[in-house]
A and B are shown apart, each in its own frame.
Chain A
Amino acid sequence: EVQLVESGGGLVQPGRSLRLSCAASGFTFDDYAMHWVRQAPGKGLEWVSGISWNSGSIGYADSVKGRFTISRDNAKNSLYLQMNSLRAEDTALYYCAKLEVGAHTFDYWGQGTLVTVSS
């Protein structure tokens, strides 16, 4: 059974940093691209960032480019999101999602970890 478990969220002041983690199991992690998608409270879904199986291809939404860094450790079956210079508008539930590469869809999602940016 595929499982994605996010961690690392919490309350953080504007301008500070936070690192999210996603622990994957139930599939061959290093065969798949992985992504972060966020959802602000009461709002819709926003793609944040994605990384290919070998970290050779990485992409970011314009809203986080230059502030967030995605990475992965295939030996640990883990995905990360380093978030710097956090803003109030980064407040959201952050989901880790597995990419189904053929159709470029997100076929498995974690339950999310909540990041709140507030003074």
Chain B
Amino acid sequence: DIVMTQSPDSLAVSLGERATINCKSSQSVLYSSNNKNYLAWYQQKPGQPPKLLIYWASTRESGVPDRFSGSGSGTDFTLTISSLQAEDVAVYYCQQYYSTPLMYTFGQGTKLEIK
């Protein structure tokens, strides 16, 4: 099975500062057929379902502020929040897709707080 490992488990950043969350996959999520990384990032606030932020490792979902960006390829990925806002306090998850057998795997989550 593919394992997604996020680091750190929790993170405290000052308002206006940069926040960086890492995600490492035990297998490559890069599909050579279309050169796409099937890696997504979600934000989950307390009492709410997750919200899709980033897909294909670096493409922002419609309506997501541009302070959120994703990077990486193959097995190592990063979610960056360029200037932390109070409303960004949440748990962030990475997620991969694997076609055969059909499987979707989430990282364990990273809790982001204000310092």
Contacts and interface: CB of A to CB of B under 8 A. Distances in A.
The 4 nearest A-B residue pairs measured at CB: A59-B102, A104-B97, A109-B49, A103-B55
Given A44-B106, A44-B109, A47-B103, A95 B55 contact: no
Interface string B44-84: 10000111100110010100000000000000000000000
A54 interface: no
Contact of B55 (A45, A46, A50, A100): A100
Q: Summarize A's interface: helix, strand, loop or mixed.
A: strand
B106 A46 contact: yes
Contact of B106 (A45, A103, A107, A109): A45
B8 to A, nearest CB: 14
A11 B63 CA distance: 38
A46 B103 CA distance: 11
A72 interface: no
